Amino acid sequence: MVEINSVGVIGAGQMGSGIAHVCALKGFKVGLHDTSPDRIEAGLATINGNLTRQVAGKKISEEERVEALGRIHPVLTLDEFGDYDLVIEAATENETVKRKIFSALCPSLKPEAMVGTNTSSISITRLAASTDRPERFIGIHFMNPVPVMQLVELVRGIATEDETFDAAKQFVARLGKTIAVSEDFPAFMVNRILLPMINEAIYTLYEGVGSVDAIDTAMRLGANHPMGPLQLADFIGLDTCLSIMQVLYEGLADSKYRPCPLLVKYVEAGWLGRKTQRGFYDYRGETPVPTR
Please tell me which residue in 17, 118, 121, 191 is annotated as part of the active site: 191
Catalytic, out of 17, 50, 121, 141: 141
Q: Of the candidates 228, 230, 234, which has an alpha carbon nearest to the alpha carbon of residue 272?
A: 234
The yes-or-no answer on residue 123 being catalytic is: no
Distances (CA, A) of 109 to 31, 104, 114: 13, 10, 9
Q: Please pick, among 21, 121, 153, 243, the residue that the annotation labels catalytic.
A: 153
| Region of residue 237 (phi > 0: left; psi between -120 and 50: alpha; otherwise: beta) | left
Residue 240 makes CB contacts below 8 A (sequence gap 6+) with: 93, 120
Let me know how long the chain is: 292
Instruction: Tell me how far the alpha carbon of residue 45 is from its chain's centroid.
Output: 18
Is residue 112 annotated as part of the catalytic site, yes or no?
A: no
Q: Contact, 87 vs 116, CB < 8 A?
A: yes
Cβ contact 173:233 at 8 Å: no
Question: Is 5 considered catalytic here?
Answer: no
Question: H helices then E strands: how many in the chain?
Answer: 11, 10
Contacts of 120 (CB under 8 A, 6+ apart): 93, 141, 187, 188, 190, 191, 240, 244
Active-site residue, selected from the candidate residues 17, 120, 123, 199: 120
Q: Which residues are catalytic?
A: 120, 141, 153, 191
